[in-house]
Amino acid sequence: MLAADEIAHRLGEVRERIARAAQRSSRSTDAICLILASKTQPADAVRAAYEAGARHFGENYVREAADKRAELADLRDATWHLIGHLQTNKTRLATRTFAIIQTVDSARLADAIAHAHPTPPMRVLIEVNLGGEPDKSGVGAGDAESLIEAARAKVEIIGLMTIPPHAESATGARNYFAKLRRLRDRLAARSGLALSELSMGMTEDFEVAIEEGATMVRVGRAIFGERPK
Ligand SMILES: *Cc1c(COP(=O)(O)O)cnc(C)c1O
């Protein structure tokens, strides 16, 4: 892992880039939640980021996250987001480990979450597979509305999340982010739900995502360095 002061320094740089992107698009920096994607990073790296002011962490694997949270139980005001695919058999542990599940992509999964965590309803985002890529999780854009209708009574749907197809250029990424925002606007109008959260943008493209309306960016390597293999 990187040294604690290096993590703090990189966190400061990312925060500045977020502030500049927000300013360029006449948005308030406070409207953008920085989530540190900490998969495969040791608990000490998360702790270093926390001590430098980070409060939101995103993990991909339920078991790894549960173990890390146990090691970091003293960080009481940290918020943990599940940003990786959730298998139904891990749902119970996931609802105990995370405050927000960003990767709901089927009615079956929403059912399992509600069964494990009926009250208060779990806060979730709907993961959208914008490129329709068969090897990626996420609901197709065309099926998002029926998923929202099936899941809205069971979980608290606060927005949409996406990992867009790899784009060669910033413009390519921008088109996907704009697409998610327009989809959100349409779904919010049709469902009457606010769907205020748009979780999009990672190390390579978080500034473009902010310009297109991201309210949550998930940044790993820019803060923690390359992930251990
Ligand atoms: C790993 C990961 C990120 C962060 O990716 P970086 O390129 O390291 O910033 C964001 N979102 C998800 C879902 C991830 O799995």
Mean pLDDT to the nearest integer, 45-74? 98
The CATH superfamily assigned to 4-224 is Alanine racemase (3.20.20.10)
Separation of 37 CA from ligand 1 center, angstroms?
6
User: Which residue from 14, 41, 83, 227 has its CB within 8 A of the most atoms of ligand 1, so it is best to mutate?
Assistant: 83
* Mean pLDDT computed over 57-74: 98
Q: Where are the domains of the chain?
A: 4-224
Contacts for 208 with CB less than 8 Å, ≥ 6 apart: 21, 170, 173, 174, 177, 201
* Predicted local distance difference test score (pLDDT) of residue 170: 83
Count CB neighbours of 173 within 10 A.
Answer: 24
Give CA torsion, residues 81, 98, 165, 110, to 10 deg: -140
Q: What's the whole-number mean pLDDT along residues 101-113?
A: 98
Q: What is the pLDDT of residues 132-168, one digit of tens each?
A: 999 999 999 999 999 999 999 999 999 999 999 998 8
Q: Residue 50: pLDDT above 80?
A: yes
Q: Which atom in ligand 1 lies closest to the alpha carbon of residue 221?
A: 8
Instruction: Return mean pLDDT, the chain.
Output: 97
List, in order, residues 6 or more apart from 210 with CB less than 8 Å away: 18, 21, 22, 25, 27, 32, 201, 217
**CB within 6 Å of ligand 1 — which residues?**
37, 39, 60, 83-84, 163, 202-203, 218-222
Q: Is the dihedral of CA 75, 78, 83, 89 positive or negative?
A: positive
Q: How far is the CA of 78 from the centre of ligand 1 (A)?
A: 19
pLDDT value at residue 218:
98
